[in-house]
C-alpha cells in the first residue's frame, strides 16, 4: 500500500493546472511563451489574474491533497511520518515531470507549498512569508522561490530536528533548485523576468480574444 500511495501521489502531481486552466479559459499553452514554465507566474503573464489564481490554487491543492490522503486514508505498516515524507516528494516530482503532459512540468513551487501546508501549517506559513517578502522587494518570482527553498529545510529542522519530514523537505528543496537552474543563470546575468512582466505575444493574443 505504501508503494500504491506513492504512485497515486505522483499521478495527482502529474495534473498540470497551468495547462488545464489555460485550455479551459482559451489561453495559450503556458509551455509556449515566457519562461515556458507551466506555473502560475507564467500564466499571469497573459494578464489573466483569475487564471493564474486558479492555477496556484490547483497546484497547491494537489500537493496538500496527496499528503492528506496518505495520512488519513492509506493505512500501511510503514509509519505515517515516513509514508507522508515519501508521498510529499512523489507529488512534487509528478508536478515537475507529469506523465499526463509528456513530462513537461512546472518547477514545483506551488505544489511544494501545498505539501508544506499538509505537513505543518507553521512550516508553510514561514516559507510563504519568506517568498512574499523577497517577491515584494525584488519582484522576481524565481529569486523568491530559490530563497524560500533554501530556508524551508531550516524551518523544518527548527520544528522537528532530524526527522523524515526534514529530509523530505530537503529533497524537495534540492529538486526546486535544480529545476530553477536556468533561472539561476538568468539571475546572474541580470536578465530574469519580473513577476508583473507580461509576455508580449501572449498579451497580444489576449487582446484578440
- For 188, other C-beta atoms within 10 Å of its C-beta total 9
Which stretch, 3-7, 71-75, 79-83, 183-187, has highest mean pLDDT?
A: 183-187
Q: Which of 89-98, 167-176, 197-206 has the lowest mean pLDDT?
A: 197-206
Report pLDDT for 32. Answer: 84
Binning pLDDT at 50, 70 and 90, where does residue 202 land?
A: very low
Question: When comparing pLDDT for 170 and 46, which is higher?
Answer: 170
Report pLDDT for 197. Answer: 63
Report pLDDT for 196. Answer: 65
For the stretch 54-103, pLDDT in tens is 999 999 999 999 998 886 776 666 788 999 999 999 999 999 999 998 89
* Percentage of the chain lying above the pLDDT 70 cut: 90
Cα gap 70→1, rounded to integer Å: 10
Alpha helices in the chain (DSSP H): 2-13, 17-24, 40-44, 49-72, 80-96, 109-119, 121-138, 141-160, 164-179, 181-189, 200-208
Q: Is 127 exposed, middle or buried (0-12, 13-18, 19+ CB in 10 A)?
A: buried
User: How many structural domains is the chain composed of?
Assistant: 1
Report pLDDT for 75. Answer: 60
Report pLDDT for 185. Answer: 95
For the stretch 105-146, pLDDT in tens is 999 999 999 999 999 999 999 999 999 999 999 999 899 999
Cα gap 55→113, rounded to integer Å: 13
Cα gap 164→81, rounded to integer Å: 6
Report pLDDT for 181. Answer: 94
Mean residue pLDDT across the chain: 88
Q: How far is CA 9 from CA 89, 111, 127, in A?
A: 9, 11, 22
State the residue range of the domain holding 64: 2-208
pTM comes to 0.88
Cα atoms found within 13 Å of the Cα of residue 120, Cβ hemisphere only = 19
Binning pLDDT at 50, 70 and 90, where does residue 206 land?
A: very low
Amino acid at each position: 500500500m505504501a508503494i500504491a500511495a506513492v504512485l497515486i501521489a505522483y499521478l495527482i502531481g502529474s495534473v498540470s493546472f497551468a495547462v488545464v486552466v489555460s485550455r479551459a479559459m482559451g489561453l495559450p499553452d503556458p509551455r509556449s511563451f515566457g519562461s515556458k514554465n507551466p506555473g502560475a507566474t507564467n500564466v499571469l503573464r497573459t494578464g489573466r489574474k483569475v487564471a493564474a489564481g486558479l492555477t496556484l490554487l490547483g497546484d497547491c491543492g494537489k500537493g496538500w491533497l496527496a499528503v492528506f490522503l496518505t495520512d488519513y486514508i492509506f493505512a500501511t505498516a510503514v509509519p505515517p511520518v515516513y509514508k507522508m515524507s515519501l508521498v510529499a516528494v512523489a507529488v512534487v516530482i509528478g508536478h515537475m515531470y507529469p506523465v499526463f503532459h509528456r513530462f513537461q512540468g512546472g518547477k514545483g513551487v506551488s505544489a511544494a507549498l501545498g505539501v508544506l501546508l499538509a505537513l505543518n501549517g507553521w512550516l508553510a506559513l514561514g516559507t510563504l512569508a519568506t517568498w512574499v517578502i523577497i517577491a515584494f522587494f525584488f519582484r522576481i518570482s524565481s529569486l523568491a522561490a530559490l530563497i524560500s527553498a533554501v530556508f524551508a529545510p531550516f524551518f523544518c529542522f527548527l520544528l522537528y530536528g532530524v526527522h523524515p519530514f526534514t529530509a523530505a523537505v530537503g529533497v524537495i528543496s534540492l529538486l526546486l533548485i535544480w529545476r530553477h537552474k536556468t533561472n539561476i543563470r538568468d539571475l546572474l546575468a541580470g536578465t530574469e523576468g519580473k513577476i508583473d512582466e507580461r509576455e508580449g505575444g501572449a498579451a497580444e493574443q489576449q487582446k484578440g480574444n
